[in-house]
Structure 1
Amino acid sequence: STQGTTMEVIAIGPHDRSRDPLLVDQMHRLRARVFKDRMGWDVTVTEGQEFDQFDELNPTSILVVDRGVVVGHTRVLPTTGPTMLSETFSFLASSGAYAPHPRMLETSRFCVDTSTARLTPDGIHLATMTLIAGILEWADLGGYSEIVTVTDVRLERILRRVGLPLRRLGEPARIGNTIALAGIVDVDAQSSQRLRPRQYKSTFTKLNQAA
């Protein structure tokens, strides 16, 4: 049964892209399906793949892979450099609310293939929970204390349901057919452990972090 197979969380760093071209290709296709087709955001899609200028900053991508297929993705950037919130979505943060620091990480382009209907006992998509748990583990391993993100109210509700409240940085605004907002989530080892689905598996190591 599909219940028996574990979704795996992997990180693709700036130096891994040529090593995992199939996963990178799938990741950009998933982003196109979610942000262009489903959410109606004004994003650039080329040959079925979504790219933006932040992909050129050597980000790390965190992927959820289910039997060789990418079913979840988020992109991670340090807030000490340019971020989506500082460059593209600054209108979502009230004046002075966004104060980046070296232990803050930005996640962007959070997306999940919700056609894979495997749910957690709480009724949340398994890929979504696995991706949230993966982001927390990655941030915790890297010594980060906060994650800032631009997301939509739907994901904010999911985070609240699993006990991970988002501190809003400003008023929500309509983008495409979603209501977007900027917020911060606290990172700690306890949440990272608590939110892992039963069969959680990641390939992160301290080594990845240093790369």
Structure 2
Amino acid sequence: MIIVVDGLNRHMFTGIVDEMFELRARVFGGRLGWDVKIEDGKEIDEFDHLDPAYVIGLDDEGNVVAAVRALQTTGPHMLADVFCAILDGEPPIRSATMWESTRFCVDTQRLNRGKDKNSVSYATCELMIGSLEYARSAGIQDIVTVIDPVMDRVLKRSDNAPYDYVGKTVPMGKVPALAALLDCTEERINRVRDFAGIHHDVFLEEDAALELFERKVAAAKAAETSPANRDHKPLSTLERYFVEQMREAKTEAEVQAVLKLIEALSDTFTPEQRQALINTPRAFAIEA
């Protein structure tokens, strides 16, 4: 599910934008080893203060799993001012109908390697479709994007191959960097859709996105403050599962079914954890 955050609605999505910056820190500062500025776990640069547009992918639980940034090329942008070595002495690209796409990233830790909706492949293609459709709707004809050779291969495999390249490939952190050109035509968008089998509208309404993200944040806070977590240690996967089951229980029969499962797995927990989980209905199920 894709949302677009820009200077007009960014105040509504501060939590989502912060999570996107955290994902960028893990990808560009960690996995790729680029020389980027990271503060408080977030990767933010000077171009993020120019009111760019962000195309952001969310999973069904409201987590940010993919993102890309779009900047006008008529003003400051990365290829002109940071990756200028790629241009190899050529003047920067300046065009009212060309955007620069940078910071394309996908959460490879949260997503799996299959082909389903929670896969890296699906999230990557959905983000490509979303960014191309958003650009096209804004009257943009072409995109220039700074990528590494791995992303170049991803574009080609997804039937989204660049139609040309700019300048030369240069070292950038742990990987080389190059600049590719993509048109925003309906033909290109349809090729990616056919490759991924994504034929529905990928965009999520703003209200729905806010509700989804806020529900995720509320669930996380509830888990952290639950009776099963009084020692403030991170909940185990099994503990989180039982807390969620208690929160979802709507009848006494459903509560008792969860309690029986806790009893059956009593050897898994310490006596304190077991008692805390048994008491969870008071905190969650009844309140719900």
Normalising TM by the smaller chain, what interval?
0.7 to 0.9
Three-state SS of the structure 2 residue aligned to 1:96 is coil
Distance 1:204 1:82 in 2: 30
Three-state SS of the structure 1 residue aligned to 2:30 is helix
Alignment match, 1:5: none
Q: From 120, 124, 128, give the equivalent of 1:128.
A: 124
Shift of 1:100: 2.2
2:159 aligned with 1:163? yes
Three-state SS of the structure 2 residue aligned to 1:138 is helix
Alignment match, 1:61: 54
Distance 1:181 1:138 in 2: 23
Tell me whether 57-66 or 186-195 shows the greater mean CA deviation.
186-195
2:148 aligned with 1:152? yes
2:199 aligned with 1:202? no
Shift of 1:124: 6.2
Larger RCO (alpha carbons 8 Å, 6+ apart): 1
Give the RMSD, CA atoms, in angstroms: 2.0
Alignment match, 1:208: none
CA gap of 1:110–1:137, structure 2 versus 1, over 3 A, is same
Distance 1:158 1:128 in 2: 9
The answer (yes or no) to whether the contact 1:13–1:60 under 8 Å persists in 2 is: yes
Alignment match, 2:25: 32
TM, length-normalised to structure 2: 0.64
Q: Unpaired segments of 5 or more residues in structure 1? A: 1-7, 206-211
TM, length-normalised to structure 1: 0.86
Q: Could you say which structure has the larger radius of gyration?
A: 2
Distance 2:81 2:91 in 1: 15
Amino acid at match of 1:117: N
Shift of 1:174: 1.6
**Alignment identity in percent?**
35
Higher-helix-fraction structure:
2
Q: Unpaired segments of 5 or more residues in structure 2? A: 207-288
Q: From 12, 19, 27, give the equivalent of 1:19.
A: 12
Distance 2:161 2:88 in 1: 19
Q: How many residues align?
A: 197
